[in-house]
Amino acid sequence: MRERFVVEGLNGQKKLQGEIAVRGAKNAVLKILPATVLFADEVELQNVPHIEDVDRMRELLEGLKTNQTILRKDIAERFRASIVLTGPVLARYGAVEFPFPGGCVLGERAIDLFLNGFKAMGASVVEDDSYFKITANGKLKGAHIIFPLVSVTATETLMMAAVLAEGETIIENAAMEPEIGYLAEFLNSCGAQISGMNTPVLRIQGGELLRAEGKPFVVPPDRIETGSFAILAALAGKDVTITNCDPSWLNVPLSLLAQAGVLVETTQNTIRIRGASEYRMVPVRTHEYPGFPTDLQAPMAVFMSQCAGEGSILETIFDGRFRYVDDLVVMGADMTVMNPHRILIRGPKKLTRKNLESPDLRGGLAYLLAATVAEGTSTIDNAYLIDRGYERIEERLSKLGLSIKRETSQ
């Protein structure tokens, strides 16, 4: 049964106020859940967000109880993060079978980094009708792996595989997202030997199964949710405080908002946003951490549509991530797709109501932001995609004063 959000727009007025707390990080919990395969005992997780992607990962783990080496096709083929399970499963059980992972359509997302990494560690790879069968041929061997491009999921997957490998593994051009370092520190506290966190070179000395021995993994705050709320508050907030967050993980986005004229105040774990009457256009270029997150690109485009002047977004991580632009143009935004990696935005432009359907997780959140500042009542269909990353978003935004409800759609 499909659901949708119904949003009564604020017509450009800044009315939202109050506090909104950030939930646990989607991009952290979706990695610690696969990491539990590396443990000889149970791992307690705290601050877990109640989102669809967490439910899917749990289902995949449940499926491994029936067959330790095969990922359920009906889930894995439509759930991109499923590929992270391949590293721990291969390392512990010596084999893994999985379909080509699915998820949001964000252009070409090849898995060669994963397959080549496994091969470097001594595994053999067989592809059969879009299904991959990987065999460790005994125990995985430490290897020197150099990524031709930075990949968060490949870094995490091969790092976890190396924890149980024989000998030392070196990963060069590794991603430096804070969630990776946070995970590595917990694994180290449980017996892993990982060094180089928050640098482009990781070194992992392989060993035996890990033991939590009662130590809980506390899921850190979601920095993408934090950034999404900051952009929403800038667009429609009178005085909004974001709590339970880590502002230091969002230095670039918060700096750009401040440059545009947003009043931003931070403490160690809060961000206060006060909206201004007008904003200046700022240029945006997505980049691996600590740069501007690609997952905030679509919400930032909505913000830029309300800024004075002309600016552009350069998307350096994915192609095919501008699928939301056409609908925002219909709402009144002045946006032009120059090529698969760049859009031009002129503003400010008044947005009007529209019935929309979420194209993907972050694009769906961008539609919700656009509906918030638009004139009239908009609907955002396919709420499931937004639920994949944001826990009960309508209940939380209602407390800030937004008129938003969830209803069943046909």
Residues designated as active site: 104
Residue 74 neighbours by CB under 8 Å, 6+ apart: none
Which of 272, 252, 349 minimizes the C-alpha distance to 306?
349
Q: What is the CA radius of gyration of the chain?
A: 22
Contact indicator for 381, 409 with CB cutoff of 8 Å: yes
Neighbours of 384 (CB within 10 A): 15
Q: Which long-range contacts (CB under 8 A, 24 or more apart) does 245-250 make?
A: 245/22, 245/221, 245/269, 245/270, 245/271, 246/178, 246/220, 246/221, 247/271, 249/178, 249/223, 250/223, 250/226
Number of H helices, E strands in the chain: 14, 21
CA-based angle 293:298:301, to the nearest 5? Answer: 105
Residue 243 pairs with which residues in a beta bridge? 21
Instruction: Give phi and psi for 155, each to the nearest 5.
Output: -60, -50
Structure tokens at 335: 């946006």
Running DSSP on this structure, what letter comes out for residue 225? Answer: H
Structure tokens at 64: 């491994």
